[in-house]
Amino acid sequence: MIFIQTYDPSHLPATAERGEIATFLFHHLDTYGDPQPDIEKAIDYALGKDNAPGGLVLTARSGDTLTGAVVVNRTGMRGYIPENILVYIATHSAYRGRGIGRRLMEEAISRSAGDMALHVEPENPAKLLYESLGFTNKYLEMRLKKEK
């Protein structure tokens, strides 16, 4: 049995659990991940730290085992940019193929007010899940990274 837990600015995880979620995402995002400090920033944003617009953090557990996690950030925009962006989703490598990612996505979509965007690498197997949930590829994303 998988239990889904939702956190947001009005319902925060314990500090240890926040760290567990960040570490989980860092390890289970595999080649599609970011450095752990960046993951922690996205989680803090979703939880409304420093007056950020907030969002959602969802976790899936089987008993005491964290089996999946999602981070959705509100963009603070409406209409011309989707109101939400799915920043991270990962399923524990030992639990993949059991529908946990789909359940987390369905819950994230249901609990988010407004449209949602996400970025996915073309070869990422999760792309098929996103398409089955109604996500479409409308644009090619390009980024300019300024040197500091």
What is the DSSP secondary-structure string of 44-57? HHHTTGGG---EEE
Specify the residue for token string 């599609």.
32
- What does pTM read for this prediction? 0.90
Q: Assess if residue 145 is contained within a domain.
A: no
Q: Assess if residue 30 is contained within a domain.
A: yes
pLDDT in tens, the chain (148 residues): 899 999 999 999 999 999 999 999 999 998 888 999 999 999 999 999 999 999 999 999 999 999 999 999 999 888 788 999 999 999 999 998 899 999 999 999 999 999 999 988 888 888 888 899 998 887 777 777 888 7
Residue 25 is part of which domain span? 3-132
CA dihedral (91, 61, 44, 11) in degrees, to 10, reads 150
**Cα separations in angstroms, 71 against 18, 39, 85, 144, 148:** 11, 9, 9, 24, 27
Q: Assess if residue 59 is contained within a domain.
A: yes
**Cα separations in angstroms, 120 against 39, 88, 129:** 16, 10, 11
Q: Assess if residue 115 is contained within a domain.
A: yes
Q: Assess if residue 144 is contained within a domain.
A: no
Q: Count up the domains in the chain and report the number.
A: 1
Of 122, 8, 114, 125, which Cα lies nearest the Cα of 56?
A: 8
Q: Assess if residue 137 is contained within a domain.
A: no
Residue 131 neighbours by CB distance under 10 Å: 12
CATH code, 121: 3.40.630.30
Q: Assess if residue 138 is contained within a domain.
A: no
Q: Which residues pair with 6 in a beta bridge?
A: 58
Q: Assess if residue 143 is contained within a domain.
A: no
DSSP string, 83-125: SEEEEEEEE-GGGTTSSHHHHHHHHHHHHS-S-EEE---TT-T
